[in-house]
Amino acid sequence: MAFVTFDSDKCKGCGLCVTVCPKKIVVLAADKINSKGYSPAEVSDMSLCIGCAFCAKICPDCVITVEK
């Protein structure tokens, strides 16, 4: 099983990671705001993650880490 972590304080909520996730489990947090005033990305159901790392590869700020 893969494990994805986000550096939420550095995320600017651009949504690029949301668009490339093949399982559609990366979402922008509806109930959280980081220190920069953005809704950071998060994984809605980690058990569905296949560890493709598309989200980490497209992130312009390198805030996503995928571990297998």
* pLDDT tens sequence for the chain (68 residues): 899 999 999 999 999 999 999 999 999 999 999 999 999 999 999 999 999 999 999 999 999 999 98
Tokens of 25: 């489990």
**Domain boundaries 3-67, CATH class:** alpha beta
pLDDT reported for residue 1: 83
Residue 11: CB partners within 8 Å, gap ≥ 6?
Answer: 34, 38, 40, 41, 61, 63
Place of tokens 């494990």: 3
Residues facing residue 27 across a β-bridge: 42
pLDDT reported for residue 67: 96
Question: What pTM did the predictor assign?
Answer: 0.92
Place of tokens 């560890």: 51
Domains of the chain, by residue range, sit at 3-67
Q: How many CB atoms are closer than 10 A to CB 30?
A: 7
